[in-house]
A and B are shown apart, each in its own frame.
Chain A
């Protein structure tokens, strides 16, 4: 990794330069909220956003994608093509950069990498930006408030300019061509440290995340799950807005002629009733069992395989859940045995 100072007024040129080679996706205002969307004008880029409604995962794992086209009669694949456009995700917070690293573990893992995910991931440029915690943020609880890999360029706000960490050849090349920039000084690094300290000090809540896998097993039959189950609307919003929820469904859609069709992958949620259904029944029929499974998988199932929890503390589910079920509250209930009101 090496570093450059990029003045804030150089950013529009950098964006325009990158846009000549990539489709640039960035945070923009939409009503009173923020969304990631294709950037038409660099002036629309809001690097001061607090949080977007949806994460950027849809640009790597779309909510709907065709895996292959087929012919019914001879049960044959007629076409297996994938869209892997060159895209730049400009302005991901550390939580979102980390979320993609967690998804990589699943989709780029070992023997069976997912070719669709892999192609998109490789063609996607990641430019991160520093943030200040919103009231719903708890990335500090999981250590996902910092990121040291998983990006091409990371911009840390130090006043009139960004302290740019550059960690890839293509990132270095883009900065070189499209931003003037200058080399860092000891004062710049001091400003970077100051900014990082201010960020860490700004978190309002502390969450006791100690021993979660043990608690999830030891308190498996705790009444808190029944309580959360009664509150849960089973709408699946938590999974939809989650940057680390990767579960998907695959189904076939036929063309009007019934002779051809496509095999389609869509986002799915373990909160939906038939998620664990089989021919003779359903292994997670109750909402309580499904809410519990969501946390069980995130804080223990995924961890048992990859040594990390499957949550980056972005707080999107906290904002989205109409029943006020969210990780800080669930973790507190697990620790104390009581669901706070």
Chain B
């Protein structure tokens, strides 16, 4: 028997996480925190290049790994932000971490939103609940390159006012002229003065140029059918709508099989799919 040691550069072993330091933790809601992470190795950090919509595997040794979409914009170099809901073993353990702690990252993985293709067009972004996490990356990327885009409309629905993610920023943005942002909640509280109802209700209030608009959407599985129906009512082309899917991406590199959807793997063929592809993909929507 002979044993060989794996070559040390981590990129030769796609299963080996890169160490990253937590540099900031913000409580967004009672369930969600926003973590800012910086890869420790300079060369790895400089080489870390991603697209809005891509995800990483967050790796906590002793607990495991979980796929998390990147919330910060690719235009922000040197760090990434992950918006994490405490909903499982890894995410629960992450919520117990402190600023300065070291965690592991692998990635970025998958296909993101077609940012370059969207340039020069109007954009309609629709998020439900935690689905805002990957869209936030796209929103910020558009913000940093705002002059390249036409009208930008953002519709975001949450269950209650206290569950609105990035609330402070979005409430500020509601007054901006270059972003048409609308928030709605299913269940208002006494402080809520905004829209009430599902995110689909907001479609009555928007005006789109269907020939010139790209749609992007992310939210809980149940939302897709209804939001896409609204987009189609507004005459958006099926191949100009992009959807992001959540599945159980374990390896991130198209091998472990866990994120299969229809005949594709979400980790390499997605998580962002063109709706034309997705509507022909079994199990997808």
Q: Which residues of A approach B to under 8 Å, CB–CB?
A: 23, 67-68, 70-72, 74-77, 80-86, 106-107, 109, 111-112, 114-115, 119, 123, 213, 217, 220, 246-252, 254, 258, 261, 263, 268, 270, 275-281, 283-284, 289, 293, 296-297, 300-301, 303-304
Contacts and interface: CB of A to CB of B under 8 A. Distances in A.
Contacts of A293: 260, 283
Nearest to A83: B3
A71 B246 CA distance: 30
A-B pairs with lowest CB-CB distance, top 9: A247-B257, A70-B61, A301-B263, A279-B87, A112-B253, A72-B62, A85-B1, A112-B14, A304-B263
B45 to A, nearest CB: 17
B260 A85 contact: no
B2, B3, B15, B88: residue with the most chain A Cβ atoms closer than 10 Å: B15
B35 to A, nearest CB: 14
Contacts of B263: 213, 296-297, 300-301, 303-304
A279 B130 CA distance: 12
A283 B283 CA distance: 8
A83 B1 contact: yes
A82 B250 contact: no
Given A74-B19, A80-B16, A247-B257, 9 more contacts: A86-B2, A112-B254, A114-B14, A115-B7, A248-B251, A250-B15, A270-B257, A301-B260, A301-B263
B104 interface: yes
B15 A67 contact: yes
B61 A106 contact: no
B4 A82 contact: yes
A74 B19 CA distance: 9
Contacts of A280: 87, 220
Nearest to B57: A250
Contacts of B169: none
Interface string B54-78: 0000011111110000000000000
A84 B2 contact: yes
Interface in B88-127: 88, 91, 101-104
Nearest to A221: B282
Nearest to B86: A279
Contacts of A74: 19, 102
Interface of B: 1-7, 12-17, 19, 59-65, 85, 87-88, 91, 101-104, 220-221, 246-248, 250-251, 253-258, 260-264, 282-283
A220 B246 CA distance: 22
Contacts of A217: 282
Contacts of A278: 246-248
Given A71-B61, A261-B62, A304-B263, A115 B6 contact: yes
Contact of B255 (A80, A82, A106): A106
Contact of A85 (B2, B13, B261): B2
Contact of B250 (A67, A111, A249): A249
B40 to A, nearest CB: 10
A75 B255 contact: no
Contact of A250 (B60, B101, B256): B256
A222 to B, nearest CB: 12
8 contacts: A71-B61, A115-B7, A220-B282, A247-B257, A252-B61, A277-B248, A280-B87, A296-B262
A276 B6 contact: no
A213 to B, nearest CB: 8
A254 B88 CA distance: 18
A289 B104 CA distance: 34
A250 B1 contact: no
Nearest to B1: A85
Nearest to B252: A112
Contacts of A67: 15
A23 B1 CA distance: 8
Contact of B64 (A80, A115, A250, A304): A250
A180 B256 CA distance: 45
A339 to B, nearest CB: 20
Contacts of A297: 257, 260, 263
B256 A268 contact: yes
Contacts of B13: 80, 115
A76 B254 CA distance: 25
A301 B15 CA distance: 24
A270 B60 contact: no
A251 B2 contact: no
Given A76-B61, A115-B12, A81 B3 contact: yes
A88 to B, nearest CB: 14
A119 B1 CA distance: 13
A77 B6 CA distance: 12
Nearest to A220: B282
Given A80-B13, A301-B264, A75 B103 contact: yes
Contacts of A107: 255
A293 B281 CA distance: 12
A75 B61 CA distance: 6
B56 to A, nearest CB: 15
Among B2, B14, B257, find the residue whose CB has the most chain A CB atoms closer than 10 A. Answer: B257
Nearest to B87: A279
B70 to A, nearest CB: 18
B250 A250 contact: yes
A300 B5 CA distance: 37
